[in-house]
Structure 1
Amino acid sequence: MTGAQGQLAFTDEAGRDTTLREYGLDPSLDSPLLPNAAVAGALQNLVRLATELCGVPFGVVNIISADSQHQIGAWGVDRRICSREDSMCAKVFHSRERTVVPDARQDERFTDNPFVTGDIGAVRFYASIPLETESGFVPGTLCVFSEEPRDLTPDQLRILDVLAKQVVELLELQHRTTQLDRAYAELKESNAKLASFAGRVSHDLRIPLTTILGYVELVEDDPLIQSAGSAAKYLERIGASGQRMLAMLEDVLSYSRVGGGIHPAYTRLSDVAWDVARDLGIDHRGILEMEDAAVYADPGQLRTMLQNLLSNAMNYRRPDRDLRIRVSGVSNYHGATVFVADNGKGIAPDDRAKVLEPLVRLRRPGDGAGTGLGLATCSSIAKAHGGELTLSETPGGGTTVIVSFPAGS
């Protein structure tokens, strides 16, 4: 064995059982390793096909752990576990090459093996193909055998190679499924922590906000304020914005408690957009143009999305022209598409995918302050509804955000 091959084999052995667990195959089990039901059924069919095409009665898929051989698929024999020391495949699988033995009694590697001598079996013909993954890991073999000496034709050997590759694909499918299961478990744990955090933050923010609203109510009742029309108007706006912020805190807390659940309902786009515009102070400046549509979405989430998009339009305006924002929508039996178009600085095509990632900012000269979470939040809201957010250029310059929402059931 060359130095490189020896090093790779050593690396395999050092973390073999750990790597097998990543494939959803736990060598510590007392019974033969079992992949998920769908993979197990497909493995059984592949092993059967291998035996029939090779004209032999027995076939197995062997997974070789640090000290054992586990048969996870078998045809003609019952699945079993044996020690790695007794395994025929364990003696040859690290070569990463096909092994074909017409009569194992005549091969010095196997003459005293219990599967040949009669202590466990009476194997004569034996052929195995190492199962090598793209990463170079060899979890085991596809093996066919019989109790009579024989050989395989070149066509049968090619077919066996192809079937071994199919076994590897099934093991990779099991690997990806295991990774997804692990990621899902971690996500559930993360969501639980997020719910706890959101609860604490919501509580900490509601107390000073409630105090501010209480003072606003006291001041509004003052006769001097009531006689000053403009001051009363400003206080009314502060109170309305504060109440909406308080409602938003409740929505955030509710959202976190249900693990990111949404509660969609048919909502008028214009109602939500004008509320946001009033909070941002752009409702009476000729900045916003509105075209209404019915959107099947969670009202609180839709409001959060529009608030982020309108804030971005204000933050990234061009200094050489007055800001203009157009909010519009189109709805039909497929669902609704919301458009938020501005005439600001725009986003270059090469940057459009990047700015949808969390905490990514372009940091261009003259840009306002921001965290880089606005567009990422909007994209997440769209995905939570089963929709999608994309970016394009506004004719004449600027950014148009396009958000799709599926129709309600």
Structure 2
Amino acid sequence: MTRAQGQLAFTDDVSRDLELQEYGLDPAADSTLLPNAAVMSALQNLVRLATELCGAPFGVVNIISAEYQHQIGAWGVDPGICSREDSMCAKVFLSRERTVVADASQDPRFADNPFVTGEIGNVRFYASVPLQTESGFVPGTLCVFSDQTKELRPEQVSMLEVLAKQVVELLELQHRTVQLDRTYAELKDSNAKLAGFAGRVSHDLRIPLTTILGYVELVEDDPDMEPQSTAARYLDRIGTSGRRMLGMLEDVLSYSRVGGGIQAGQVSLRSVAEEVIRDLGIEDQGIVEVEDLTVHADRGQLRILLQNLVSNAINYRSRERTLHVRIRGISNYHGATVYVEDNGKGIKPEDRAKCLEPLVRLRREGDGPGTGLGLATCSNIAKAHGGDLTLAETPGGGTTVAISFPAGS
């Protein structure tokens, strides 16, 4: 072997072991390299079926690492570990072709193998099928064997190949489980960092906001301030919105700390909607019509949801008609569905799914400013409540947003 060939073999071996780790299979010699219990049980059943279909007393699922062969499923023998050099399957599995040998002692590939010579075993009949994934990776084989010579019928070989595909499906299940576990761990870490970040931001925003509110209160208490003056009305609005913003900061901080947890209770839809209308400064414009409904929801998150939807209606109003927004809902024993209907530009059916993704904007002529996070945030709030958010067309033009909230326990 040349130096270049040796380096290539080393690279392939490292790559193989890394790939096995992605499947949750540790290639270390002192590891049992076992998948989870449910997969192990299913593997054993498949190996047993393979031996019965082929009329062979022994069967195994072999995983072949850079240095070892690990038997992770077995029937008729106890699963074990041997060196890759001693493995019969290691000699043929990378060919990606099935191997069926009536008498291994007469086959030049296996005649001097310790599993054939009696040093480790006394294999005569041997049949194996490589386990090939969709990506082309071959982690090992499904093989059956006997200490007696034997022939297989074509239909038996075909069934062995079918069972090998089922083994691959189980390994892919293990692969997806590992990926999900890793993603979940990363999500927990991300949520912890988000909670810390939200805490710092909340603290940094709370200080200047509290200072502003303090000065507002000082001016309001000034004896020279006329209670019915325009300045007094403006100060009252600043104070009301500022105090609500402080509450919203606390809601955001609480939301991040619980990883999106919901503090749900019975909430008046009208009460929350009226807060939103005042926050947006449109209470005197007659734009929004509200019907009352009791919703089992997190009040703070319901307010964020309604504020985003009403703001969207304002930003994407139609030039052809006076803006009108209707907030209503229906309820039954399953829960409640809130509808926010506007008569604005509307959203084409082919764009609705895209609009629920974060940072997506349609960028149509005349559209108001935005970040592309409003509808995505609303959708996440609905899902956090165990519900859903859907978009439809308002009769006569515009967008109707339907948000379902399951009934509380």
Q: What pairs with 1:46-195 in structure 2 (closer than 5 Å)?
A: 46-195=46-195
Contact 1:32–1:79 at 8 Å: present in 2 too? no
Kindly provide the amino acid, as one letter, of the partner of residue 63 in structure 1. I
- With over 3 angstroms needed to count, the CA separation of the structure-2 counterparts of 1:53 and 1:12, relative to structure 1, is farther
Secondary structure in 1 aligned to 2:341?
Answer: strand
| Structure 2: segments with no counterpart, 5+ residues | 1-7
- With over 3 angstroms needed to count, the CA separation of the structure-2 counterparts of 1:201 and 1:88, relative to structure 1, is same
Residue 352 of structure 1 is matched in structure 2 by: 352
Secondary structure in 2 aligned to 1:296?
Answer: strand
Q: Percent identity?
A: 76
Residue 4 of structure 1 is matched in structure 2 by: none
Residue 300 of structure 1 is matched in structure 2 by: 300
Q: Tell me the CA shift for residue 373 of structure 1.
A: 0.8
Residue 28 of structure 1 is matched in structure 2 by: 28
Kindly provide the amino acid, as one letter, of the partner of residue 102 in structure 1. A
Contact 1:31–1:81 at 8 Å: present in 2 too? no
Asked if 1:265 is matched to 2:265, the reply is yes
Q: Tell me the CA shift for residue 292 of structure 1.
A: 1.6
Secondary structure in 2 aligned to 1:15?
Answer: helix
Asked if 1:231 is matched to 2:246, the reply is no
Q: Greater CA deviation, 39-48 or 251-260?
A: 251-260
Secondary structure in 2 aligned to 1:60?
Answer: strand
Secondary structure in 2 aligned to 1:66?
Answer: coil
Residue 400 of structure 2 is matched in structure 1 by: 400
- With over 3 angstroms needed to count, the CA separation of the structure-2 counterparts of 1:29 and 1:318, relative to structure 1, is farther
State the number of aligned residues. 402
Residue 203 of structure 2 is matched in structure 1 by: 203
**What CA distance in whole angstroms lies between the structure 2 residues aligned with 1:31 and 1:229?**
80
Kindly provide the amino acid, as one letter, of the partner of residue 156 in structure 1. Q
Q: Tell me the CA shift for residue 224 of structure 1.
A: 3.4
Residue 280 of structure 1 is matched in structure 2 by: 280
**What CA distance in whole angstroms lies between the structure 1 residues aligned with 2:236 and 2:326?**
27
Q: TM-score, with normalisation over the residues of structure 2?
A: 0.95
Asked if 1:341 is matched to 2:361, the reply is no
Kindly provide the amino acid, as one letter, of the partner of residue 147 in structure 2. E
Kindly provide the amino acid, as one letter, of the partner of residue 183 in structure 2. A
Secondary structure in 2 aligned to 1:33?
Answer: coil
**What CA distance in whole angstroms lies between the structure 2 residues aligned with 1:315 and 1:156?**
68
**What CA distance in whole angstroms lies between the structure 2 residues aligned with 1:13 and 1:65?**
7
**What CA distance in whole angstroms lies between the structure 2 residues aligned with 1:154 and 1:118?**
29
Secondary structure in 2 aligned to 1:16?
Answer: helix
Secondary structure in 2 aligned to 1:286?
Answer: coil
Contact 2:29–2:68 at 8 Å: present in 1 too? no
Q: Tell me the CA shift for residue 10 of structure 1.
A: 9.8
Kindly provide the amino acid, as one letter, of the partner of residue 60 in structure 1. V
Residue 325 of structure 2 is matched in structure 1 by: 325
- With over 3 angstroms needed to count, the CA separation of the structure-2 counterparts of 1:208 and 1:109, relative to structure 1, is same
RMSD after superposition:
1.5
Q: Greater CA deviation, 83-92 or 316-325?
A: 316-325
Q: Deviations over 1:353-406 (max 9, x none)?
A: 111111111111111111111111111111111111111111111111111111
- With over 3 angstroms needed to count, the CA separation of the structure-2 counterparts of 1:10 and 1:27, relative to structure 1, is closer
Q: TM-score, with normalisation over the residues of structure 1?
A: 0.95
Contact 2:63–2:139 at 8 Å: present in 1 too? yes
**What CA distance in whole angstroms lies between the structure 2 residues aligned with 1:260 and 1:111?**
63
| Structure 1: segments with no counterpart, 5+ residues | 1-7
Contact 2:265–2:299 at 8 Å: present in 1 too? yes
**What CA distance in whole angstroms lies between the structure 2 residues aligned with 1:33 and 1:146?**
25
Secondary structure in 1 aligned to 2:278?
Answer: helix
Q: Tell me the CA shift for residue 348 of structure 1.
A: 1.2
Q: Deviations over 1:102-134 (max 9, x none)?
A: 010010000000000111111110000100111
Kindly provide the amino acid, as one letter, of the partner of residue 175 in structure 1. H
Contact 1:25–1:35 at 8 Å: present in 2 too? yes
Secondary structure in 2 aligned to 1:148?
Answer: coil
- With over 3 angstroms needed to count, the CA separation of the structure-2 counterparts of 1:352 and 1:138, relative to structure 1, is same
Q: Deviations over 1:258-285 (max 9, x none)?
A: 2221111111111111110111112221
Q: Greater CA deviation, 170-179 or 28-37?
A: 28-37
- With over 3 angstroms needed to count, the CA separation of the structure-2 counterparts of 1:10 and 1:158, relative to structure 1, is farther
Q: Tell me the CA shift for residue 154 of structure 1.
A: 1.5
